[in-house]
Structure 1
């Protein structure tokens, strides 16, 4: 009954059910998404998609973010293109328990639907956004980590479900209609990890948004699907969940309202549950989150070198120890462009040491191909260490004169409950990121 549970919960959710910290988290998540979408609006991946699909655009009903004046296209393509733009820099929010980037698929579909239909309040929008984020993170938890390990891009495979739930909520669909929307979205599975480092990774997010929007609209019109789409023998979780053992119990644990003894199911008035949006985090660096400890440590070493009047050009070797997952996900030793650089722990170490920062500018193609960066990157040696956590890193830097500097990053910035920043700190950082992304757009925009 997971599909029906989820549909019933979403269709009955009210703004008054949302705690204040959940409302604040939803606002921050949307703010972060907007900054990322503006920053990625002129990326080649977004531009190519726009120009290629332009002949198919329908009547202008929804906005494309990041363009001078007001640029509108049909809602379906707006969801797709804003979704691509929001994810292409890999700067978007991350649900740490599943590494889902939750707001991209949901907000891209939701904004397009809200503009297309019109007349919604901010409260209605936030309830729908929260419902969608909770839905995709809960179904993601039910199949994590095997689903991701086998090669699915979990952001998009769950994102279409989250987008469908969000738009269904905004359109005031009934529980049965919402269940059908979940099924229509679930059957449109999209996203292979093989695509990481190419334009297609961001396409996953845009397509998930587009699929979710389509699913809700079809369900509103009377289109049907299985009402057990998530839990059936040949349904979503059993097909993409890899293992056949324990999936029904996992769905009950994460989706079932008031699941006995778990306290982890969908939160509802008078029921146990956990809000996943409160476990959402925001990136300090625009790349795969597992690289963050290395960049953080190398940024610190950059400042250590400067304080000791040492030149990064005189570095002889850089030995880094990381969790095995880091090399599996980001082991590209010789990235050819900015998108591949986001999946290169070697490039992350190099920019941290050379520039003392990691912003979208350090992932431009010309930086990845810069001889100075390559010279440092070639000196980096990375090894997997099973005793090191995924958000941890150890770095040993040796200079030409034999000087040795070491850095141990025990936790990546903002990784884990104990290191979540204060609301004031987080909002200040997001405002800074929004300005940075907007400045990047203004510097390069040609429309």
Structure 2
């Protein structure tokens, strides 16, 4: 009954029933998403996708973010392209228990649809976003970690279902229609970890958004699917569980009691979240070096003890471009030591190939330590004079224990949006914070 359980809960959820902390988490998730979508909008991967697909655009109803509201596409293509843009810098939110980036697929779909309808309130958008994120994360938990371990990109393989639930809420689908939308989304499984480091990784959440929107549109018109799409013997969970035993009923029974959106974290650095502790530590070490009148050129070697996933996911020793740099803990540590920060500019192709960065990168070594938590690291910097600096990061910035404040999220938004919108970045930030209060979200989106 898992599919019907999810459909029933999502259908009955109302904006007024969201607890204040949940609503606040939805506002922050949506705000962070918009900043990431604007910041990634001029990336070559987005431009290539736009240029390839533009001849096939339908009626221009939905904004492509980063265009100052002047460039639009049909809702399906807007969901795809904004979804790609939101993930291309690896700067989006993370549900830490599953490492799903849940907002990208859901928000890309519901905002494209909301603008197409031109009559949907911010409160309804926050409700739909919450429903979609809860759906993605609950089913993700049900197949974690086996699903991820065999090679699925869990953000997108759950994201199409989350997007369908989110759009279905805006459409006010019936319970039966919502169940069919879930089934239609479940067959559109997308995302392979093999694609990490290439343009296709960011295609995953974009395609999930597009697929979820398509699923809801079909279900609205009576298109049917299995009523047990998630739980059947040959349904979504058993097919993608990687040999594990899906725990759908357990996690779906928590709907409305334990809110996964409250466990959604935000990235201070635009790269794989697993190497954030090492970057955080190296930024702190950068400042310690400066206090002592030293510089990264005085560093002989850097030893990092990290969680095993860091080695598994971010061990590219010699990244060739910015995309590959996002999967190199060595590059992250190098720019953090050299510049004292690791923002989008530090993951450009130019910086990844910079000779000074490469010199420091080659001095960084990382070893896996099973005893460490996912957001913990130990660093030892060996200096040329024989002395050492030590740093233990128990919880990295951006974790649930050390969350980013609203002020830090605003700084992050403006930092990346300025690269695209220039002086209009602060204005876009103000509009993005207020979308949840809007009587018609389409009007706010056009101002972006």
Structures share fold, TM-score greater than 0.5: yes
From 277, 286, 301, the counterpart of 2:270: 286
**Does structure 1 residue 386 correspond to structure 2 residue 370?**
yes
From 414, 419, 431, the counterpart of 2:410: 431
Within 1, Cα distance between the matches of 2:262 and 2:219?
Answer: 30
TM-fit CA distance, 1:413: 1.3
**Does structure 1 residue 297 correspond to structure 2 residue 294?**
no
TM-fit CA distance, 1:314: 2.2
Q: Partner residue of 1:251?
A: 248
Q: Deviations over 1:28-78 (max 9, x none)?
A: 111110000000010001000000111111111111111134211100000
**Does structure 1 residue 354 correspond to structure 2 residue 338?**
yes
TM-fit CA distance, 1:21: 0.9
Q: Any conservation in 2 of the 1:33–1:93 contact (CA below 8 Å)?
A: yes
Q: Partner residue of 1:396?
A: 380
**Does structure 1 residue 409 correspond to structure 2 residue 388?**
no
TM-fit CA distance, 1:399: 1.3
Q: Any conservation in 2 of the 1:180–1:223 contact (CA below 8 Å)?
A: yes
- Give unpaired runs (5+ residues) of structure 2: 425-448
Q: Deviations over 1:79-131 (max 9, x none)?
A: 00000000001111111111111110000000111111221112111111111
Within 2, Cα distance between the matches of 1:334 and 1:244?
Answer: 35
TM-fit CA distance, 1:397: 0.8
Q: Partner residue of 1:259?
A: none
Match of 2:234, SS state, is: coil
Q: Partner residue of 2:189?
A: 189
1:107-126 equivalent positions in 2, closer than 5 A: 107-126=107-126
TM-fit CA distance, 1:419: 3.1
Q: Partner residue of 1:75?
A: 75
Within 1, Cα distance between the matches of 2:337 and 2:128?
Answer: 43
TM-fit CA distance, 1:443: 5.9
TM-fit CA distance, 1:401: 1.4
Q: Any conservation in 2 of the 1:42–1:444 contact (CA below 8 Å)?
A: no
TM-fit CA distance, 1:411: 1.3
Moved more, 204-213 or 396-405: 396-405
Q: Any conservation in 1 of the 2:266–2:403 contact (CA below 8 Å)?
A: no
**Does structure 1 residue 277 correspond to structure 2 residue 289?**
no
Q: Any conservation in 1 of the 2:305–2:379 contact (CA below 8 Å)?
A: yes
Q: Partner residue of 2:420?
A: 441
**Does structure 1 residue 366 correspond to structure 2 residue 350?**
yes
Does the C-alpha gap of structure 1 residues 6 and 69 become closer, same or farther in structure 2, counting only changes over 3 Å? closer
Q: Deviations over 1:177-228 (max 9, x none)?
A: 0000000000000000111111111000100000000000000011100010
Match of 1:419, SS state, is: coil
Cα-Cα RMSD: 1.3
Q: Deviations over 1:265-312 (max 9, x none)?
A: 101xxxxx2011111111111110011000011001111111111121
Within 2, Cα distance between the matches of 1:201 and 1:97?
Answer: 20
Q: Partner residue of 2:440?
A: none
Tell me the matched-pair count. 424
Q: Any conservation in 1 of the 2:146–2:244 contact (CA below 8 Å)?
A: no
Within 2, Cα distance between the matches of 1:124 and 1:318?
Answer: 49
1:160-199 equivalent positions in 2, closer than 5 A: 160-199=160-199
User: TM-score with structure 2 length normalisation?
Assistant: 0.93
- Give unpaired runs (5+ residues) of structure 1: 257-264, 268-272
Q: Any conservation in 1 of the 2:68–2:421 contact (CA below 8 Å)?
A: no
Q: Partner residue of 2:217?
A: 217
Q: Partner residue of 1:150?
A: 150
Within 2, Cα distance between the matches of 1:61 and 1:387?
Answer: 51
Q: Any conservation in 2 of the 1:83–1:203 contact (CA below 8 Å)?
A: yes
User: TM-score with structure 1 length normalisation?
Assistant: 0.93
Q: Partner residue of 1:419?
A: 402
TM-fit CA distance, 1:244: 4.8
Moved more, 67-76 or 200-209: 67-76
Match of 1:189, SS state, is: coil
Relative contact order (alpha carbons < 8 A, sep ≥ 6): 1 or 2 greater?
Answer: 2
Within 1, Cα distance between the matches of 2:302 and 2:139?
Answer: 40
TM-fit CA distance, 1:415: 1.8
